[in-house]
Amino acid sequence: MDSHVFLTVFPYWLKAFLFTQGVEIPIWTLLARGAVPAWRAALAGAACTCLTHPLLWFVWPRVVHDYGAYIASGELLVAAIESAVFFVLARPVTFSRAVAASFLANAASYGGGLLLRSVGALS
């Protein structure tokens, strides 16, 4: 990606990244409740998104060119990576809880983003 394209895409990515963090961190925290302190779950969830969001936006489109396949495979890839990362960072959260948190957090942020775009709030 050349610098012109990056500078064009970056403001959209930043808006989406902040929205994603705002939606997902409370979910990570809620689903880890009782297993780890809320601050630790929040940081672990934020770390997951910091790792995978740039991957989905800047790397994955170079690998998968069909938009439908990009979204489906990218969201599954992100959820899989985040499940493993959250499991490691938020121990003793169980692996099944880490997977549930990851898939729920990603479904909520993706669905929320679609909803906001459909009403023109995100562009």
**111, pLDDT greater than 90:** yes
Residue 123 has pLDDT above 80, yes or no: no
Domain range summary for the chain, segments of one domain joined by +: 13-118
pLDDT value at residue 77: 97
Q: Considering the chain, what percentage of its residues have pLDDT values greater than 90?
A: 89
Confidence at residue 1, expressed as pLDDT on a 0 to 100 scale: 66
Q: What is the pLDDT of residues 50-61, one digit of tens each?
A: 999 999 999 999
Q: What is the pLDDT of residue 121?
A: 77
Q: Give the end-to-end CA distance of the chain in Å, rounded to a whole number.
A: 21
- Interaxial angle between packed helices 3-31 and 95-118, expressed in degrees from 0 to 180 and rounded to the nearest 10: 130
- pTM of the model as a whole: 0.90
For 29-62, letters b (16+ CB in 10 Å) and e give bebbeeebeeebbbbbbbbbbeebbeebbeebee
Cβ density class 6-17: b for 16+ within 10 Å, e for less: eeeeeeeeeebb
- Across 73-78, average pLDDT: 97
